[in-house]
Structure 1
Amino acid sequence: MAFVLYPAIDLKGGQVVRLRRGEMDQATVYAEDPAAQAASFAAQGFAWVHVVDLDGAFAGRPANAAAVRAILSAVPGLPVQLGGGIRDIKTAEAWLEAGVARIILGSAAVKDPDFARAACRAFPGRVALGIDARDGFVATEGWAETSGVTATELAQRYADAAPAAIIYTDIARDGMLSGVNVEQTAALARAVPVPVIASGGVAAVDDIAALKASGAGIAGAILGRALYDGRVEPAAALAAARG
């Protein structure tokens, strides 16, 4: 199985930002034009792009639709996975019809399992679950709330629904450049028969190599602040992912 890198475009107020530990008031603006940023990632050789509507995650409905549509128009050949504010079948279907390759359900996976399961059935291979954990417990509502469910428990509940992937974020490390949590990501990958993508904390090419070397079959990683800050060069990251 190929190890896929997903450069992240996090949208807040129509701009590309990165947060620190998911705190909306800790946002750094990296680009004014999300579509141009996506085109840049395509030109650098990335095979996917990971887009999150941060405002939508808090609002519970899409809030950066114009920016997402601009991204889709700018990179018609680059598959986009999108999360944030997708809480019903109508919204899920609308984004998939608009050209999004894969939607990500986060809060809905905890709070509305009937919808999450229905989406997995209705759109096979096109629904990923975003599992964001703080101290091992799943956080929801743009990470503003912490549930009493562990990441592994939640992932196992959905194993029979066959989601396309699980995107696992260690919130304590997200945007902190402190290194990815290889141990917990690998443990989750071993616990479920679903591809697991690591998110949060990738700070260097060595983190990509460590995820690949875990032996747990981790399917990929999301790159955020380290890519924007220049700590990870795209060519080096892609080479590490290949090899």
Structure 2
Amino acid sequence: MTTSTPSRPLTLYPAIDLKDGACVRLRRGEMDDATVYSDNPGAQATAWQDAGFEWLHVVDLNGAFAGASANTQAVRSILDAAHVSVQLGGGLRDMAAIAAWLEAGITRVILGSVAVKNPALVREACRAFPGRIVAGIDARSGLVATEGWAEVSDMQATDLALRMQDAGVGAIIFTEISRDGMLEGLDIEQTVALANTVSIPVIASGGVGSLDHLAALREAANTTPGIEGVIVGRALYDGRVSPSQALRVLSGC
């Protein structure tokens, strides 16, 4: 009888999505279908830190549509309140914005739309800030979406992932938009395919609604080492998944 060696724990990134200064969750990326969970992003960041999370996943939703940071005060309140690692995405479209947030205390930045439209900037940022640039690949049925998910390109997610790996990004965050906020489970098949395509870590996102969904990802990660973690939003806010149970499942215990 053979036994498999347990994989290392997966990282859980609680999502703090910012719209008009508040913490919200969208359904399928639709800005007009938002649920507000807190009007105090700093307090929410502290709550997730106190729950045992070592990372926060912060997205400036207004910024993603505007093409420039729009929830600056809210992000700064998160940095002031919490003392864990923070990754930030949404509206970061030039070196000045990237550098400013990294200097302000953001651990790493997430480049999404710009990864498709300005790959030269991604390469430049990766050279300037090695290990601190992450590519956010958001897809509808495997096709990359940009501009806050408002536009869908004809590029396959796997093709973009390979380009971003070549550009030097430290990791990829993969979101299947059709599942995001729907609590129906991750698209594990696409996540595994992506992780098997690249040699850099892949973080899954979009659709976690139960501990069973996390357990399914944990099982997939046992045979796909490239899967590094998972972003969870609505299920944590709604109490469908408790932080302690989620961390236990993802640790493989």
Q: TM-score range by the shorter chain?
A: over 0.9
Q: Which residue of 1 aligns with 2:248?
A: 239
Name the residue aligned to 2:13: 6
Decide whether the 8 Å contact of 1:209 with 1:240 is kept in 2: yes
Secondary structure, counterpart of 1:158 in structure 2: helix
Q: Which amino acid aligns with 1:207?
A: H
Q: Distance in 1 between matches of 2:159 and 2:172?
A: 13
Q: TM-score, normalised by structure 1?
A: 0.98
Q: Which residue of 2 aligns with 1:55?
A: 62
Letter of the 1:230 counterpart: G
Q: Which runs of 5 or more residues in structure 1 are unaligned?
A: none
Q: How far off its partner does 1:202 sit? A: 0.7
Report the equivalent of 1:222: 231
Whole-Å separation in 2 of the counterparts to 1:163 and 1:207 = 27
Q: 2:99 is aligned with what amino acid?
A: E
- Residue 210 of structure 1 deviates from its aligned partner by 1.2
1:38 is aligned, of 41, 45, 61, to: 45
Residue in structure 2 matching 1:92, options 93, 98, 101:
98
Is the aligned partner of 1:69 residue 2:76?
yes
Aligned to 2:4: none
Residue 180 of structure 1, CA deviation: 0.7
Q: What's 2:5 paired with? A: none
- 2:152 counterpart (117, 125, 146): 146
Write the distance in 1 (CA, Å) between the matches of 2:175 and 2:86: 18
Letter in 2 for 1:233: S
* Paired letter, 1:62: S
Q: Secondary structure at the match of 1:52?
A: strand
Radius of gyration: which is bigger? 2
Q: Is the 8 A contact 1:38 1:74 kept in 2?
A: yes
| From 176, 188, 191, the counterpart of 1:185 | 191
Q: Deviations over 1:83-114 (max 9, x none)?
A: 00000000000000000001000000000100
CA contact (8 A) 1:6 1:50 kept: yes
Between the aligned partners of 2:64 and 2:22, the Cα distance in structure 1 is 15
Alpha-carbon distance in structure 2 between the residues aligned to 1:2 and 1:125: 20
Whole-Å separation in 2 of the counterparts to 1:212 and 1:229: 22
Alpha-carbon separation, structure 2, partners of 1:158 and 1:103: 14
Q: Which runs of at least 4 in structure 1 moved beyond 3 Å after TM superposition?
A: none
Matching residue within 189, 196, 207 for 2:202: 196
Aligned position for 1:21: 28
Matches within 5 A, 1:95-110: 95-110=101-116
Comparing 37-46 with 117-126, greater Cα deviation is found at: 117-126
Identical residues among aligned pairs (%): 61
- Return the alpha-carbon distance in structure 2 between the equivalents of residues 80 and 117 of structure 1: 21
**Aligned-partner residue type, residue 106 of structure 2:** V
CA apart distance, 1:162: 2.7
